[in-house]
């Protein structure tokens, strides 16, 4: 690949990104513009921003690599991403979030739930959880982008990581949410084009769709040879029911991410940036098509990479073995080995766009969560909201950079670090926020005490399960081994493979229902204000 071509394409991309960030900066006049883009965004921009924020290098590199291990079963996650993450999120949750956010003049997700339950304490606690938890997700996104840049340019991973982080930090801190959404829409279009090209080339090189999938099916004996003990039946089949790989695929990857998307602060706030339900309805098709291409292409190409690597006399191995048992290196290695040389430049821009669109939103949410929700509202401290947000963003960026540097050294070789980090944060948000969101948005009689109890029970259960039971995290963390002298409290049972969200979410929901039975809801005047115009 020509480094000159790569340099030219990258510079043009960065200049355009800088322009859209500057455009957001020039149109940011007050806190409403900075935090909610003025509440007047076009539905296509909102939908592309939502999709680009949702889909990052975690989906392309991390989950694409996971598909090379688990197979086309990951397409169930695509189904949930579209059905729950788009149709349910937009048509059911999005409209109520938008209207209630307007009614309560809420500027952030924690502020929305805090004002719905008339609790600055809940707003502050939610803001702190987002600020502490989101760097894990942001760090995972940074890893995906930096690894491809490092491999493509043959430069040091740490240097690629610093470059990646610095570019995103610059424009998100300047432009606020307007700058973020403008660049998200632009980057979303680039991501769509890049993934479409990769999917077409992959199928073309294997003789078409039917030929490609026949070849992948024929590799089933290789999958059984390597992963058969864990329940793998081939890359075009689901793992054996209730096997280790089935539990990991279904509970952690498919359900953990597929359900948790409903309670993602950086996504929910997008609904508060449009002026009416009409814009949300118009954004559904755009969002669905975008998610279908982005996740579907990544999971299909990831699975089919096994055919390329196994049939290549240089490798003659399945994808995981060819990558040195590094799941997060599979997609970068595939692109650099089998795609046309010019496509490496295109794909690098695709990953830059995917990472920057998601990271910009994550950094923005971290800044508002700590500066506005925790510091100003939770601790009741005074200060300029924009300055506080930007300062908090800087701290969140440093935390994310720290995790992106240390996580690859922390987890054992072969771990899908990006997918694990993403699933942890999605599951934590699902357990902490989803029951109280459903109660607060759809039922008037849910009390403040019930919401607070649900939040803390879901959070505590999720963190306990991550630390002491779920082996994917409890083993590398080592705290369970230190305290109880065992790697996981689940012992050798299959409970160690059950995702934390599947345990914590029911606990949080039960806490909400139980405490609500013995407490009183907010006053009628407050509830009328919350639900005004909501049918």
**How many C-beta atoms surround the C-beta of residue 229 within 10 A?**
11
Q: Write phi, then psi, for 220 (nearest 5 degrees).
A: -55, -40
**Does 458 fall in a domain?**
no
Q: In this structure, what is the dihedral angle of CA atoms 375, 377, 378, 380, given to the nearest 10 degrees? A: 80
**Does 100 fall in a domain?**
yes
| pLDDT score recorded for residue 191 | 81
Q: In angstroms, rounded to a whole number, what is the distance separating the alpha carbons of residues 472 and 249?
A: 13
In angstroms, the Cα distances linking 414 to 69, 331, 417, 468 are 10, 14, 9, 21
**Does 510 fall in a domain?**
no
Q: In angstroms, rounded to a whole number, what is the distance separating the alpha carbons of residues 306 and 299?
A: 12
Residues 6+ apart with CB under 8 A from 154: none
- Which domain does 22 fall in, by range? 3-396
| pLDDT score recorded for residue 452 | 97
| pLDDT score recorded for residue 426 | 86
Q: In angstroms, rounded to a whole number, what is the distance separating the alpha carbons of residues 30 and 36?
A: 10
Q: pTM for this structure?
A: 0.83
Token pair of 453 as six digits: 């109890």
Is the separation of the CB atoms in 53 and 291 below 8 Å? no
**Does 453 fall in a domain?**
no
**Does 18 fall in a domain?**
yes
Number of domains comprising the chain: 1
Is the separation of the CB atoms in 188 and 357 below 8 Å? yes
Run means of pLDDT, 10 residues per run, the chain, 535 residues: 66 71 58 47 62 70 91 94 88 88 88 93 94 88 78 79 76 55 72 89 95 96 92 95 93 87 80 72 82 91 96 94 88 89 78 74 84 85 77 87 82 62 87 95 94 97 95 86 92 91 95 96 91 86
**Does 489 fall in a domain?**
no
Is the separation of the CB atoms in 531 and 444 below 8 Å? yes
What single string gives the DSSP state of each residue in 243-282? Answer: SHHHHIIIIIIIIHHHHHGGG-HHHHGGGGGSSSHHHHHH
**Does 412 fall in a domain?**
no
Q: In angstroms, rounded to a whole number, what is the distance separating the alpha carbons of residues 245 and 268?
A: 31
| pLDDT score recorded for residue 281 | 79
Is the separation of the CB atoms in 350 and 60 below 8 Å? yes
Is the separation of the CB atoms in 286 and 47 below 8 Å? yes
Helix H segments across 154-208? 157-205
As a residue count, the chain comes to: 535
**Does 423 fall in a domain?**
no
Token pair of 435 as six digits: 């029951």
Q: In angstroms, rounded to a whole number, what is the distance separating the alpha carbons of residues 368 and 224?
A: 48
Burial class (CB in 10 A: 0-12, 13-18, 19+), 529: middle
**Best CA proximity match to 184, nearest among 347, 370, 24, 391:** 24
Is the separation of the CB atoms in 237 and 487 below 8 Å? no
CATH number assigned to the domain comprising residue 382: 1.20.1730.10
Q: In angstroms, rounded to a whole number, what is the distance separating the alpha carbons of residues 264 and 54?
A: 9
């Amino acid at each position: 690949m020509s480094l000159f071509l790569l340099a030219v394409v990258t510079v043009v991309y960065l200049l355009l990104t800088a322009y859209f960030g500057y455009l957001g900066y020039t149109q940011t006049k007050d806190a409403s513009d900075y935090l909610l883009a003025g509440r007047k965004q076009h539905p296509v921009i909102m939908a592309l921003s939502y999709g680009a924020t949702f889909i990052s290098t975690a989906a392309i590199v991390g989950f694409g690599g996971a598909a090379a291990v688990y197979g086309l079963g990951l397409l169930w996650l695509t189904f949930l991403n579209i059905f729950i993450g788009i149709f349910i999120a937009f048509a059911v949750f999005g409209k109520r979030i938008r209207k209630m956010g307007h009614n309560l003049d809420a500027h952030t997700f924690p502020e929305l739930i805090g004002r719905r339950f008339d609790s600055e304490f809940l707003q502050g606690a939610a803001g702190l959880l987002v600020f502490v938890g989101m760097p894990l997700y942001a760090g995972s996104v940074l890893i995906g982008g930096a690894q491809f840049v490092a491999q493509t340019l043959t430069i040091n991973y740490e240097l690629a990581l610093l470059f990646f982080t610095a570019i995103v930090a610059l424009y998100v801190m300047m432009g606020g949410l307007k700058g973020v959404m403008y660049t998200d829409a632009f980057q979303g279009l680039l991501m769509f084009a890049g993934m479409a090209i990769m999917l077409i080339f992959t199928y073309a090189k294997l003789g078409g769709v039917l030929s490609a999938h026949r070849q992948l099916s024929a590799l089933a004996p290789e999958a059984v040879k390597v992963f058969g003990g864990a329940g793998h039946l081939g890359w075009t089949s689901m793992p054996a029911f209730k096997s280790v790989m089935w539990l990991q695929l279904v509970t952690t990857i498919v359900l953990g991410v597929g359900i948790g998307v409903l309670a993602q602060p950086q996504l929910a706030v997008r609904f508060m940036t449009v002026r009416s339900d009409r814009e949300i309805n118009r954004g559904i098709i755009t969002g669905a098509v975008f998610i279908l291409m982005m996740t579907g292409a990544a999971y299909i190409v990831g699975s089919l990479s096994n055919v390329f690597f196994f049939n290549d006399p240089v490798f003659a191995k399945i994808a995981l073995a060819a990558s040195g048992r590094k799941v997060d290196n599979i997609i970068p290695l595939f692109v650099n080995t089998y795609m046309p040389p010019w496509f490496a430049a295109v794909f690098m821009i695709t990953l830059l766009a995917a990472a920057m669109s998601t990271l910009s939103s994550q950094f923005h949410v971290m800044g508002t969560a700590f500066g506005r929700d925790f510091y100003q509202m939770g601790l009741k401290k005074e200060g300029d909201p924009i300055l506080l947000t930007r300062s908090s963003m800087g701290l969140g960026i440093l935390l994310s950079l720290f995790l992106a540097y240390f996580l690859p050294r922390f987890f054992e070789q072969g771990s899908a670090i990006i997918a694990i980090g993403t699933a942890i944060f999605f599951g934590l948000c699902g357990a902490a926020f989803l029951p109280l969101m459903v109660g607060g948005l759809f039922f008037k009689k849910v009390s403040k005490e019930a919401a607070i109890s649900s939040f803390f029970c879901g959070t505590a259960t999720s963190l306990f399960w991550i630390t002491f039971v779920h082996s994917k995290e409890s083993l590398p963390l080592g705290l369970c081994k230190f305290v109880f002298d065992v790697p996981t409290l689940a012992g050798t049972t299959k409970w160690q493979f059950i995702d934390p969200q599947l345990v914590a979410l029911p606990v949080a929901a039960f806490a909400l229902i139980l405490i609500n039975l013995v407490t009183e809801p907010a006053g009628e005047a407050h509830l009328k204000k919350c639900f005004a115009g909501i049918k």
